[in-house]
Amino acid sequence: MNNPKQRLMTKAMVGQALKDSVVKLNPVLMLKNPVMFVVEAGTIVVLLMMLFPSYFGTESSIGFNLTVFLILLFTLLFANFAEAMAEGRGKAQADSLKQSKKEMTANKVTEGGGVTAVPSTELRKGDIVIVSQGEMIPGDGEVIAGLASVDESAITGESAPVIKEAGGDFSSVTGGTRVVSDTIKIRITSDPGESFLDRMISLVEGASRQKTPNEIALNTLLTVLTLIFLIVVVTLAPIAKYLGIELSVPVLISLLVCLIPTTIGGLLSAIGIAGMDRVTRFNVLAMSGKAVEAAGDINTMILDKTGTITFGNRMASRFIPVGGEPLASVAQWAAVSSLLDETPEGRSVLELMKREGYAFDEETASGGECIEFKAETRMSGMDLKDGRKVRKGAVDAVKAWVQAQGGEIPADLIPSSDAIATEGGTPLAVAVDDRLYGLIYLKDTVKPGMKERFEQLRRMGIKTIMCTGDNPLTAATIAREAGVDDFIAESKPEDKIAVIRREQAEGKLVAMTGDGTNDAPALAQADVGLAMNSGTVAAKEAANMVDLDSDPSKIIEVVAIGKQLLMTRGALTTFSVANDVAKYFAIIPAMFTAAIPSMGALNVMGLGSPMSAILSELIFNAIIIPVLIPLAMKGVSYKPMSSSKLLQRNVLVYGLGGVIVPFVGIKLIDMIVHLWI
């Protein structure tokens, strides 16, 4: 996938967009954008008057009509270019994805149990295939046997392979990825043309992009404004004639184009397409523009604890001595018992040793025999070469092991163990032969920076709720450390749906992350459901967004991008409306000053002549669209702030700027045009 810092425009992209901007002049296509369709209709009228001057009686103004026609044509082309550029970025991404979708051979398991090679295009839902090291996975599916490392860089852009295994939440595989180790058996879950990769290509190309509710509402507003000004301009001609002012059709069309909100009308589609594109460049696949916009309006966020807020693995956080033993002794024997333990818990013990500055002699364990953890014993450790036996494990299991060897149990073992459990942690006892030294405090550690990120969400006005299957005490401890606003302990799938519905009943929009089949109902219920690419097929089908990097905390970036989309649309709408206010002071005095000299007081710009004022206004109206294309595609920079501050910023920066820029721009253009005329 593309890097978020990918260049905004490339030579190939610009070339294709220039071609597409001409193709998009098709009136059938233009009809989708009412504002620009009116501009095109006016352009055609001026063209006809220029081609048949004798029929319309406009022989004396062919030069002016030609100039107006060219400016209006370029206005249309610039607006189409903005949309074509935004679409071009999606098509470029689709082309890179298509490199992953090549014809490949699949090892299909036959009914008799044999294996036969068939083209991947012949695979159907329910077929079983075997994929070995170095081979490409021929289609979307679920691992039903085996375990393997899979390189998903063709989809996610990440070079590190991921482990896929049968059962659980990491059994889903995507066609076009490559197995880098071992062999797995896969059940195909999609027919040709319906794979995840096919959907990705279709979505990033924008083929199924739907207008968002906010975009539809704004489009409706622009259409109404266009109709109002169309009526105003049509009725203006007879009124002006009554006053003895002769307004030609090209002048009236120029007035209409300057009055209607052409700037935002020309950029509106580009803003929506670019919003989906920005999400995709962060390796999040949005199933529709509605999902991206909804993310910008989120009020409540539901997050799983394990793997999202916490690492999901119990980590050693403290050594606790019992029976008066020195703390250093507990740390030493905990390290010896964990030296050959490759589990996350075992490695975390050694990391805690280094972090706390404890040292131990590794020679003590040299030549010892590793005792692996077993469900029957619930202990692991090491038998040293000098005959001593070191064990760590469940408190009751180690306690019974020490007692079996004639050792005594310290009186403070159980109270210390219970205190750890009360805090939501897991106690592991450490013993050497018949002597119990102390406890290792294991707890699910909150990921670094999560508290700051939740504070950022709070500043955005978003409430965070953590869902976990832990008991209330453990949940409360993690919630306090992470800084979430609320939590649900011992939660079941129906509990997640219940809290989502409760929030939605209060008129709030809810986002949720998940990766398991049990998360699917809640992902479907949420307004923004972000599923992990490493999760199950059910989760990905239920969600309206899929994170290709499988980073649950990325929902925060998705929300920021959604808000940026809304801010960009709001900022450019403010600029466009303010722009129109300034345009009135250019074109209205130019049209009426000759007949009504007192209206010259409105010519605050001091424009050279009525003709140069009209042309300068039209030229500015055309060139402002391509000037704003980079801003529409990149988006307005987003900073968490309240709605009132956001409105104030928009009015000051884009509202005031939208008034000042036309005054300066039109005046500069007029100085050149007036000399020419």
All residues at 6 or more sequence positions from 497 whose CB lies less than 8 Å from its CB, including other chains: 521, 522, 525
- Cβ contact 405:308 at 8 Å: no
All residues at 6 or more sequence positions from 346 whose CB lies less than 8 Å from its CB, including other chains: 338, 340, 380
Residue 606 sits at φ, ψ, to 5 deg, of 65, 45
Count the alpha carbons within 13 Å of 466 in the hemisphere toward its beta carbon.
Answer: 31
Nearest CA among 35, 66, 79, 65 for reference residue 252: 65
Q: What is d(CA 185, CA 162) in angstroms, rounded to the nearest whole number?
A: 16
Asked if residue 345 belongs to a known ligand binding site, the reply is yes
Q: According to DSSP H, which parts of 99-195 are helical?
A: 153-156
Q: What is d(CA 595, CA 244) in angstroms, rounded to the nearest whole number?
A: 7
Tokens of 334: 């905990």
Asked if residue 392 belongs to a known ligand binding site, the reply is yes
Nearest CA among 280, 311, 315 for reference residue 552: 311
Tokens of 381: 């450790």
Q: Based on DSSP, count helices (H) and strands (E) in the chain, helices before strands.
A: 24, 21
The DSSP-derived string for 448-493 is TTHHHHHHHHHHTT-EEEEE-SS-HHHHHHHHHHHT-SEEETT--H
Asked if residue 513 belongs to a known ligand binding site, the reply is no
Q: What angle (nearest 5°) sits at the alpha carbon of residue 358, between those of residues 353 and 359? A: 105
All residues at 6 or more sequence positions from 225 whose CB lies less than 8 Å from its CB, including other chains: 260, 261
As a three-state string, the secondary structure of 354-413 is HHHCCCCCHHHHCCCEEECCCCCCCEEEEECCCCCEEEEEEHHHHHHHHHHCCCCCCCCH
Q: What is d(CA 486, CA 464) in angstroms, rounded to the nearest whole number?
A: 6
Asked if residue 495 belongs to a known ligand binding site, the reply is no
Asked if residue 380 belongs to a known ligand binding site, the reply is yes
Tokens of 95: 């082309």
- Cβ contact 558:545 at 8 Å: yes
Residue 493: other Cβ atoms inside 10 A: 16
Residue of 304, 547, 580, 670 marked active site: 304
- Cβ contact 271:89 at 8 Å: no
Known catalytic residue at 444? no
Tokens of 99: 């490199």
Residue located via tokens 């079996």: 404
Asked if residue 378 belongs to a known ligand binding site, the reply is yes
Asked if residue 519 belongs to a known ligand binding site, the reply is yes
Q: What is d(CA 624, CA 295) in angstroms, rounded to the nearest whole number?
A: 30
- Cβ contact 21:266 at 8 Å: no
- Cβ contact 43:73 at 8 Å: yes
All residues at 6 or more sequence positions from 276 whose CB lies less than 8 Å from its CB, including other chains: 90, 203, 204, 206, 209, 286, 289, 292
Asked if residue 515 belongs to a known ligand binding site, the reply is yes
- Cβ contact 654:578 at 8 Å: yes
Q: What is d(CA 292, CA 565) in angstroms, rounded to the nearest whole number?
A: 8
Nearest CA among 155, 159, 158, 151 for reference residue 197: 155
Binding residue ranges for ATP: 341, 345, 373-380, 392
Q: Which residues are designated catalytic? A: 304
Binding residue ranges for Mg(2+): 515, 519
Binding residue ranges: 341, 345, 373-380, 392, 515, 519
